Structure 1
Amino acid sequence: MWVFTKHGLLSIVENANDKKTLLVRARQCHHITDNFKGYMPKYLPKYSPDRDYHWRSVIDKEIVAKRLTEIILEIDYPNFKNSVDSDLKTVYGEVWGVAMALQKDKYARVTIVNIDDFE
């Protein structure tokens, strides 16, 4: 799962070696440390230069869930892209632009929602 926050971009996947933890990965070390500031140094990222994400931290699933909930509750902006620093804004803006393709005619799908489907 990719998670874009004010503090950086995270890629969070299962830890194949321990199902009680998740592998939190990032392109920059501070994206992990800033997002999990209250949980350092226990989950300090390790540098893995041969991997696609150079920074990795194994974090308990419960801690990741708790922190993501806290990040959601900390939302204090009306426009996400304008809430981040200039480096993140450039990257997030590019992702936002590419994702617009999902809304274009050949990708868009009209779905009629029936309220009975949710009961």
Structure 2
Amino acid sequence: MSTINSITERDNALFEAGIKLGALYHQFSGSPVNMGTVDSLEKAIAQSISVQPFVENITVRIDRDMISARLNSEFGYCELEGRMLDVTLYMKYKDIMVKASLKYDKYLDYPLMKIEEISNIR
């Protein structure tokens, strides 16, 4: 087995993007939410991730139709699920800009994280 020793800026940028989205997903899944708190939860998620190193911009949208469909009739809230999230993250590591996303994929029935774009900004 041969070892490749040269880790590139691109490799690190992609790793950082994945870490940011994974942290977001696992930190906020299960958060209580209802129609009255969804705006503030979107803002809290975006602000929490935006202070992390290398984050240039992040948008967070939570699917309000899914919230409405899952509201507990007795208590009036539900838990945030990964499938409710639509996140776009831009992060810059050195000379590399990465656009990554977290979106529910209906075909896979899974909240999929993926790299949308990679560019060298030199």
- The reply to whether TM is greater than 0.5 is no
Compare the two structures and name the one with the higher strand fraction. 2
> Which one has more relative contact order, counting CA pairs under 8 Å at least 6 apart?
2
- The interval holding the TM-score normalised by the smaller chain is under 0.3
Compare the two structures and name the one with the higher helix fraction. 1
